[in-house]
């Protein structure tokens, strides 16, 4: 497991298209993963590609995933099949003077590796829960033995990863800039939490939920 501050691209994690947007700072990888909520996990299942959107959590230089012990994708991963994980954050859309140069501002991370059973399954599950719903692990009921037996907690090392970031306005052809016939620019996308909605309860909204909305 690496602790290098810079990413060290391998042949499959080297950015080929849009090289100028590649970022080698490992901390940017961590920041993207910490800001996201859903990753897309790709693995081969029965000879065909399988793509799953799923929650995750990061602890140091590893990412935790979980799923049913009966899941085909979990079984494939534990057979040693290589996995690929993608997390993308959309920060805005880009309007160009030409539709060809319309784009998006984004931060994206791609991780390659092999999954294994988490060394500390409880830590893995706590990390996932606290990433998606901070403060919930110590507030809500803990998993029962039956629930834990039905759940596989996996970890994947973050050593082999790539990061791309795009920001700012459009790239334009000189002729379009010179003609300047239409408006161009970018529109930031801002995501906010709404007000908590109770479910069959007369309990007050706990601080770890209400604080998130603020």
Q: Is residue 154 part of a domain?
A: yes
Q: Is residue 176 part of a domain?
A: yes
Mean pLDDT within 34-60: 95
96: its two tokens = 């160009």
pLDDT, tens only, 63-121: 999 999 999 999 999 999 999 999 999 999 999 999 999 999 999 999 999 999 999 99
Q: Is residue 12 part of a domain?
A: no
pLDDT of residue 87: 98
**Which CATH number fits the domain that encloses residue 138?**
2.30.110.10
pLDDT, tens only, 50-69: 999 999 999 999 999 999 99
The 10 Å CB-count burial string (b at 16+, else e) for 132-149 is ebeeebeeeeebeeeeee
Q: Is residue 10 part of a domain?
A: no
Q: Is residue 14 part of a domain?
A: no
Q: Is residue 8 part of a domain?
A: no
Closest residue by Cα to residue 29 from 192, 165, 167: 165
Residue 1 in this model has a pLDDT that exceeds 70: no
Q: Is residue 2 part of a domain?
A: no
Q: Is residue 13 part of a domain?
A: no
Could you give the number of structural domains in the chain? 1
pLDDT of residue 57: 98
Whether 132 contacts 58, CB under 8 Å: no
pLDDT of residue 3: 56
Distances (CA, A) of 199 to 76, 146, 196, 202, 204: 37, 25, 10, 9, 11
Percent of the chain topping pLDDT 90: 86
CA distance 110 to 104: 17
Whether 127 contacts 57, CB under 8 Å: yes
Whether 190 contacts 91, CB under 8 Å: no
Domain, as residue range, for 68: 19-213
């Amino acid at each position: 497991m690496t602790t290098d501050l810079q990413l060290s691209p391998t042949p499959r994690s080297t950015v080929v298209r849009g090289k100028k947007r590649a970022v080698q700072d490992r901390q940017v990888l961590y920041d993207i993963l910490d800001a996201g909520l859903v990753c897309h996990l790709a693995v081969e299942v029965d000879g065909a590609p399988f793509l799953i959107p799923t929650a995750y959590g990061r602890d140091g230089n590893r990412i935790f995933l979980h799923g049913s012990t009966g899941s085909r994708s979990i079984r494939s991963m534990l057979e040693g099949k290589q996995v690929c994980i993608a997390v993308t954050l959309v920060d805005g859309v880009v309007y160009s003077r030409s539709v060809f140069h319309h784009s998006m501002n984004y931060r994206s991370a791609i991780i390659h590796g092999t999954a294994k059973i988490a060394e500390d399954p409880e830590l893995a599950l706590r990390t996932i829960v606290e990433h998606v719903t901070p403060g919930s692990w110590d507030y809500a009921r803990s998993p029962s033995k039956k629930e834990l037996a039905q759940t596989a907690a996996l970890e994947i090392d973050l050593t082999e990863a790539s990061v791309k970031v795009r920001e700012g306005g459009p790239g334009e052809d000189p002729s379009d800039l010179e003609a300047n016939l239409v408006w161009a620019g970018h529109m930031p996308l801002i995501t906010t939490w709404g007000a908590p909605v109770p479910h069959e309860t007369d309990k007050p909204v706990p601080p770890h939920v209400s604080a998130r909305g603020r």
